[in-house]
């Protein structure tokens, strides 16, 4: 028996196994954030490869919430139509399609990694003014954001809820809220980036308020049967920043708000963080949140070996294992891992003559 290849039921949805494609920006959207054939083939290939859960890249709930002008979005009915064939193909392979709903905050309007330029994209090159809890840029060469007022914060909550409704119309069976990596929700959570004096800043409860309002609004939008995951940065890895103790409290509150699983990442709010990168380096964070908050978790970060992934689930450190770069290198990792761990890989019929 393999723990990794045991189904996982979250509300009304059952994942066929505990291997997920981690959300990864492809910087390949068409105009206005529409997903393209790239997304259909890229995400579709990982479904053919056997990942039980396919999470899209950070998909913006409003145009100004895109990290780069080439990010996908879900802020109009045209996006619904463009995502629908992609989710249909993923579901037809037996995988569960999920969308990561995101707002990039002060990290919006940046060049994609392989562009000629770095940092903020100027208006003249298709960029825009980002928004954030304050008016300080993330880095000197990023765009200077406008601080959200309370009406602007309310619009963000509404935008997440509206995008969640559109996600269901587009055929997504689960939703992940992106509250990690120094993007908007994390910017409100972290004392390093939230210096507000209104009801969305100050103590931990004030800083958690926006993320919890988004979680409640998304839960209300999708109804009771649809799983809602939330990706958090469990620690800022900086003295005086957000801590794993804060994350245990947040995870409990997220669960009370209707979140089913905390996808446990870290970092991103401060460029000066010193991150102890190594195999499975974020797994202890997922394990601690799972143990102390009693909330299902996902583990991510330098998980590459089938036995390593198996052990994480078998030992009760996490309920789900997310793979990023390893699934870029090898879309068939889940079938190969199943061959090692269960001797009964479920290769698609079309590929059985290969074995
Ligand atoms: C090309 C690339 C794009 C990424 N984009 C996102 C994203 O859109 N949303 C997100 O939450 N994390 C993103 N990440 C982080 C991954 O989801 C993952 O957490 C990270 O790569 C660590 O896992 P790994 O070691 O298995 O790659 C990205 C990572 C890569 C390599």
What SS3 state is found at 110?
Answer: strand
Beta-bridged to residue 261, according to DSSP, are 229
Tell the residue nearest (CA) to atom 30 of ligand 1: 24
Nearest-atom number in ligand 1 for the CA of 303 is 26
> Under a CB-based contact definition with an 8 Å cutoff, are residues 232 and 247 in contact?
yes
Nearest-atom number in ligand 1 for the CA of 326 is 26
Q: Are strands 174-179 and 228-233 parallel, antiparallel or unpaired?
A: parallel
**Which of 19, 20, 21, 25 maximizes ligand 1 atoms within 8 Å of its Cβ, making it the mutation to test the pocket?**
25
Please give the pLDDT value at position 355.
87
- CA-to-CA distance for 346 and 352, rounded, in angstroms? 9
> Under a CB-based contact definition with an 8 Å cutoff, are residues 341 and 306 in contact?
yes
- CA-to-CA distance for 55 and 70, rounded, in angstroms? 18
- CA-to-CA distance for 325 and 308, rounded, in angstroms? 15
Phi first, then psi: give them for residue 104, nearest 5 degrees. -80, -10
Q: For residue range 48-79, what is the model confidence (pLDDT) as tens digits?
A: 999 999 999 999 999 999 999 999 999 999 99
Buried b (16+ CB within 10 A) or exposed e, 185-221: bbbbbbbbbbebeeebbeebebbbbbbbbbbbbbbeb
- CA-to-CA distance for 65 and 17, rounded, in angstroms? 32
Residue 43 above 90 pLDDT?
Answer: yes
Decide whether any atom of ligand 1 lies within 6 Å of the 326 Cβ. yes
Residue 345 above 90 pLDDT?
Answer: no
CA distance between the termini of the chain? 22
CA of 43 to the centre of ligand 1 (A): 14
Work out the pLDDT band at 284, boundaries 50, 70, 90.
very high
Catalytic annotation, residues: 183
Query: Would the pTM of this model clear 0.85, i.e. be above it?
Result: yes
> Under a CB-based contact definition with an 8 Å cutoff, are residues 86 and 39 in contact?
yes
């Amino acid at each position: 028996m393999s723990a990794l290849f045991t189904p996982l039921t979250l509300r009304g949805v059952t994942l066929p196994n505990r291997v997920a494609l981690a959300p990864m920006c492809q910087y390949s959207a068409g105009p206005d954030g529409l997903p393209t054939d790239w997304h259909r083939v890229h995400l579709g290939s990982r479904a053919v490869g056997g990942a039980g859960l396919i999470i899209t890249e950070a998909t913006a709930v409003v145009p100004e919430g895109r990290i780069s002008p080439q990010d996908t979005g879900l802020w109009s009915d045209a996006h619904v139509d463009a995502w629908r064939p992609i989710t249909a193909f993923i579901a037809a392979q037996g995988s569960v399609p999920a969308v990561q709903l995101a707002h990039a905050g002060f990290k919006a309007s940046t060049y994609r990694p392989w562009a000629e330029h770095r940092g903020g994209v100027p208006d003249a090159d298709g960029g825009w003014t980002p928004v954030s809890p304050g008016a300080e840029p993330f880095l000197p060469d990023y765009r200077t954001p406008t601080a959200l007022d309370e009406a602007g914060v309310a619009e963000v909550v509404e935008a997440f809820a509206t995008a969640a409704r559109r996600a269901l119309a587009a055929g997504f069976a689960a939703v992940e809220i992106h509250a990690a990596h120094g993007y908007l929700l994390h910017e409100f959570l972290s004392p390093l980036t939230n210096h507000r004096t209104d009801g969305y800043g100050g103590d931990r409860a004030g800083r958690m308020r926006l993320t919890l309002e988004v979680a409640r609004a998304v839960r209300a939008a999708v109804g009771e049967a649809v799983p809602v995951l939330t990706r958090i940065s469990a620690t800022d890895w900086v003295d005086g920043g957000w801590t794993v103790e804060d994350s245990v409290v947040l995870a409990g509150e997220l669960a009370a708000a209707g979140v089913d699983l905390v996808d446990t990442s870290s970092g991103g709010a401060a460029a000066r963080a010193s991150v102890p990168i190594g195999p499975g380096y974020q797994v202890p964070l997922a394990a601690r949140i799972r143990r102390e908050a009693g909330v299902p978790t996902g583990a991510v970060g330098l998980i590459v070996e089938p036995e390593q992934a198996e052990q994480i689930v078998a030992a009760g450190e996490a309920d789900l294992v997310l793979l990023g770069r390893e699934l870029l290198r090898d879309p068939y990792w889940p079938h190969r891992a199943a061959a090692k761990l269960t001797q009964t890989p479920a290769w698609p019929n079309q590929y059985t003559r290969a074995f």
